[in-house]
């Protein structure tokens, strides 16, 4: 019943939003780096949802759906994109490669970085402001978002591929009940799908993103619930603490009610709080 309510909510958003969904765009021409095959699961893509009513350039948010690095939850992809369109923001949904298909780090980070670069490279075509490109992720998608927030680069200025010249640094991040750590606080399924069965301590440290925050990490909106039994709320608390120590601005919301994987379901107040924060960051046109 809860899933039915959630999907009815997403359907309602889809019917009421005025948005233009463009065809999925492969992140690379030809075979993606590190591809294990040529099937649909081996081809990472970016699907743009653009506000139809936009008369000026809009902000954009690159969205990483959750799914434990083993699948991709549609309501944490398209559902978010349509909601962002209602705020006048372009939503760009990433189909990144998965551990269930044999992929491991750094493939997922490479897909995430390429998606952010593509958003900036397509800024003129999609009427996006390249200086207002954020990322958003839920659960394991929140881990991927926190990874690009802490492992970005400024691009390769001399690259022949124009996309690779773009910075992969997001301008902000939205983390929804995120996996953050690969240490004791982690979600074991996500960790195994991302790092394999026996990752080295150095790799666990590298992908424990609460330990990778610096003063250059972008501002973040983080939310979690006390009732979440799948991903420990301490993931969000530890990441916020690291941001505070690095003097990086953030909004942290720990709600008592709500389980894991809610997305926009059940009228939870996080979306209203997030919209307020996005406006304060200049991502919602006045």
pLDDT for position 18 = 55
**What kind of fold does domain 2-280 have according to CATH?**
Rossmann fold (3.40.50)
pLDDT, tens only, 26-70: 999 999 999 999 999 999 999 999 998 656 899 999 999 999 999
Could you give the CA distance from residue 33 to residue 56 in angstroms, rounded to a whole number?
Answer: 35
Cα–Cα distance list, 82 to 33, 49, 57, 239 (Å): 30, 7, 17, 27
Could you give the CA distance from residue 99 to residue 118 in angstroms, rounded to a whole number?
Answer: 23
Could you give the CA distance from residue 118 to residue 62 in angstroms, rounded to a whole number?
Answer: 10
Task: Identify the residue with better confidence: 230 or 285.
Answer: 230
Residue 188, pLDDT above cutoff 80: yes
pLDDT, tens only, 129-173: 999 999 999 999 999 999 999 999 999 999 999 999 999 999 999
The mean of the pLDDT values for the chain is 92
Tokens of 103: 């992929």
List the chain domain ranges.
Answer: 2-280
pLDDT, tens only, 225-270: 999 999 999 999 999 999 999 999 999 999 998 888 788 877 889 9
Coil/strand/helix, residue 222: strand
Could you give the CA distance from residue 208 to residue 186 in angstroms, rounded to a whole number?
Answer: 9
**What is the rounded end-to-end Cα distance, in angstroms, of the chain?**
38
Residues 6 or more apart in contact with residue 129 via CB below 8 angstroms: 57, 58, 59, 60, 123
The DSSP annotation for 3-59 comes to HHHHHHHHHHHHHH--EEEPPPEESSSSSPTT-S-SSGGGS-EEEEEEETT-SS-EE
Tokens of 11: 């359907």
Answer yes or no: pTM beyond 0.85.
Answer: yes
Could you give the CA distance from residue 185 to residue 208 in angstroms, rounded to a whole number?
Answer: 10
Taking alpha carbons only, the member of 75, 78, 83, 85 closest to residue 2 is: 75
């Amino acid at each position: 019943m809860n899933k039915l309510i959630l999907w009815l909510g997403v359907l309602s958003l889809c019917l009421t939003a005025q948005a233009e969904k463009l065809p999925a765009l492969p992140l690379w021409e030809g075979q993606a780096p590190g591809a294990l095959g040529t099937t649909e699961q081996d081809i990472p893509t970016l699907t743009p949802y653009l506000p139809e009513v936009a008369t000026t350039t809009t902000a954009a948010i690159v969205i990483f759906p959750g799914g434990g690095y083993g699948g991709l939850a549609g309501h944490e992809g398209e559902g978010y994109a349509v909601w962002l369109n209602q705020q006048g923001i372009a939503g760009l949904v990433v189909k990144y490669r998965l551990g269930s298909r044999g992929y491991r780090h750094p493939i997922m980070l490479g897909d995430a970085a390429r998606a952010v670069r593509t958003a900036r490279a397509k800024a003129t075509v999609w009427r996006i402001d390249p200086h207002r490109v954020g990322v958003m992720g839920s659960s394991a998608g929140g881990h991927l978002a926190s990874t690009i927030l802490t492992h970005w680069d400024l691009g390769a200025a001399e690259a022949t591929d124009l996309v690779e010249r773009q910075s992969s640094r997001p301008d902000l991040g939205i983390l929804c009940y995120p996996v953050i750590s690969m240490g004791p606080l982690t979600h074991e399924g996500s960790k195994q799908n991302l790092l394999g069965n026996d990752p080295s301590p150095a790799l666990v440290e590298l992908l424990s993103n609460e330990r990778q925050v610096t003063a250059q990490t972008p501002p973040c909106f983080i939310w979690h619930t006390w009732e979440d039994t799948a991903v420990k709320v301490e993931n969000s608390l530890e990441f916020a603490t690291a941001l505070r120590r690095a003097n990086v601005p953030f909004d942290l919301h720990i709600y008592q009610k709500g389980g894991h994987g809610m997305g926009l379901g059940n009228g939870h107040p996080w979306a209203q709080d997030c919209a307020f924060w996005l406006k304060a960051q200049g991502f919602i046109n006045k």
